[in-house]
Amino acid sequence: MERRKKILITGAAGFLGSHLCDRFIKEDYHVIGMDNLITGQLKNIEHLFSLENFEFYHHDVSKFIHVPGELDYILHFASPASPIDYLKIPIQTLKVGSLGIHNCLGLAKAKGARVLIASTSEVYGDPSVHPQPEEYWGNVNPVGPRGVYDEAKRFQEAITMAYHTFHGVETRIIRIFNTYGPRMRLNDGRVLPAFIGQALRGEDLTIFGDGSQTRSFCYVDDLIEGIYRLLLSDYSQPVNVGNPDEISIADFAEEIIKLTGTDQKVIYKDLPTDDPKQRQPDITKAREILNWEPKVSRSEGLKITYDYFKSLSQDELNRIDHNNFDKYIIR
């Protein structure tokens, strides 16, 4: 009988990591989920703990990683990924995108495994080219508040390419645009959970700036399919995966108010420093190379996501901060 393929997924208890665990379990892989639980939540993967082909390592990927036996694939998805999170834990954000990927690549080299890294539209910064194709080099402020995330992810791409060209490690780079769906943290600061949480608590929706900035939101199942296809492809250059359906944040607030059937008002707050004015993926490459494009419309995806948030307990809904960051912050 053929051996089950073995895959290490870092950031396994996070929003995307946990959906990836589900997908690879469904494909009959042996999945090792790794997470230090700074921003991840065990409840996202609790349902997998009883399976014989799932293991959980409570470990910080920025420290030396040991995986016994053979290993076929590594997905590096560990990282704080919302502006609020990486402002709270900037050093860990830099470490996971540098030391963390270095450990993953070293492990991949030792095991002959293929590595796929989660990169981001943030490598384009506040883009002056629109929509953003992979060839665009970006407009990033290295010393602004987003610098810790953007530059970590840019370094991550650079070291991944270096291991590919210098050591011949098989690598894949996905640039993920705004993605949403069940298991996002209600209070991670991102616009979608922020708006839905506010509507559910009967609060006004907070628009940062005048709301004319745009984003393009991809439903999580579409993204996971794109990741799966890229991993199994033979393409080692970066590929954008996202939904090109672009909307302004002001219009998005209106959509959420309609969706939740509330009569909340919007209020305006200052625009955060270096907040990108526009963002839309050019997915020509994903279409051509992966034969991939998003299938779930925003109205369908938002409905599923809203149902998920509605099912959370009142306690969870009202909790201001799930995470005890302080105990992890090493100064």
Q: Are 149 and 160 a contacting pair, CB within 8 Å? A: no
Residue 286 CA to its chain's centroid (Å): 18
CB of 314 to ligand UDP, least distance (A): 21
Binding string, 42-61, against ligand UDP, x = CB under 6 A?
A: --------------------
Q: Are 268 and 151 a contacting pair, CB within 8 Å? A: no
CB of 106 to ligand UDP, least distance (A): 30
Helix axes 298-310, 191-201, angle to 10 degrees: 50
Token pair for 236: 């080692």
Helix axes 191-201, 249-260, angle to 10 degrees: 40
d(CA 275, CA 317): 26
Query: What are the helix (H) ranges across 168-297?
Result: 191-201, 220-232, 249-260, 284-290
Residue 244 within binding range of ligand UDP, rule CB under 6 A = no
Judged by beta carbon, residue 13 or residue 249, the one nearer ligand UDP is 249
Residue 243 within binding range of ligand UDP, rule CB under 6 A = no
Q: Are 140 and 150 a contacting pair, CB within 8 Å? A: yes
Spot the catalytic one: 73, 86, 124, 149.
149
Q: Is there a catalytic annotation at residue 149?
A: yes
Residue 194 within binding range of ligand UDP, rule CB under 6 A = yes
Residue 315: how many CB atoms within 10 A of its CB? 7
CB of 147 to ligand UDP, least distance (A): 13
Token pair for 194: 């922020």
Span 79-108, contacts to ligand UDP by CB under 6 A: 82-83
Residue 248 within binding range of ligand UDP, rule CB under 6 A = no
Judged by beta carbon, residue 249 or residue 296, the one nearer ligand UDP is 249
Binds ligand UDP by CB under 6 A, chosen from 72, 109, 272, 317: 272
Candidates 63-71, 162-170, 206-214, 315-323 — which segment interacts with ligand UDP by CB under 6 A?
206-214
Active site residues: 149
What residue ranges bind ligand UDP (CB under 6 A)?
A: 82-83, 178, 189-191, 194, 206-208, 213, 215, 249, 272, 275
